[in-house]
């Protein structure tokens, strides 16, 4: 039995996005924003979240929900059709793999929220943004026991 954790979930999300035609493999990272300067747009940066709404029972079993994020970025320019297409690709990939390709311990993964359009700008007053993007929040229901024995 294996214990599913945030790292395993993020790595599986990365693997699924890298396999999708919307992203170059080097443009999907685990928390590394350096890809914005080096990779090929659009970029997907996978970030950890927290534990939300654990559900317990009388037998010492509980099903926590782990939250995570995928930020989708591209250089700032007029028109956002390509960025929206990349955003839709992230949502489609996560929706198409509700158990993250049957990752041990994952009961259900689902998109819970998509942000409004985001901008990253240099730290100078009056500067135009350098990048435009969206943040996709997802939640993964996992199976654990209080004893730490792992999933079943």
Domain ranges of the chain: 6-145
Residue 2's pLDDT is what?
45
Residue 51's pLDDT is what?
76
Residue 3's pLDDT is what?
57
| Sign of the alpha-carbon torsion through 50, 102, 71, 24 | positive
Position 53 confidence tier, pLDDT thresholds 50, 70, 90: low
CB-based contacts of 133: which residues, under 8 Å, 6+ apart? 71, 72, 73, 74, 83, 117, 118, 119, 120
Peptide bond into 42 cis (omega under 30): yes
- Say whether domain 6-145 belongs to CATH 3.30.70.1700: yes
Model confidence pLDDT, tens digit, residues 64-111: 788 999 999 999 988 999 999 999 999 999 999 999 998 888 889 999
Position 122 confidence tier, pLDDT thresholds 50, 70, 90: confident
Least confident of 37-41, 49-53, 98-102, 103-107: 49-53
* Helices then strands, each counted (H, E), the chain: 3, 7
Residue 151's pLDDT is what?
47
Q: What global pTM score does this model have?
A: 0.85
């Amino acid at each position: 039995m294996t214990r599913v954790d945030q790292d395993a979930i993020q790595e599986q999300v990365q693997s699924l996005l890298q396999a999708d035609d919307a992203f170059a493999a080097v443009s999907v990272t685990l928390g590394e924003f350096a890809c914005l300067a080096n990779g090929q747009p659009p970029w997907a940066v996978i970030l950890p979240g927290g534990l939300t709404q654990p559900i317990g029972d009388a037998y010492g079993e509980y099903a926590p929900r782990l939250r995570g994020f995928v930020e989708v970025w591209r250089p700032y320019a007029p028109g956002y059709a390509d960025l929206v297409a990349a955003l839709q690709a992230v949502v489609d990939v996560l929706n198409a793999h509700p158990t993250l390709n049957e990752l041990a311990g994952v009961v259900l993964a689902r998109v819970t929220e998509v942000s409004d359009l985001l901008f990253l700008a240099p730290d100078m007053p009056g500067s135009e943004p350098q990048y435009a993007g969206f943040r996709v929040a997802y939640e993964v229901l996992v199976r654990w026991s209080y004893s730490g024995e792992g999933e079943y």
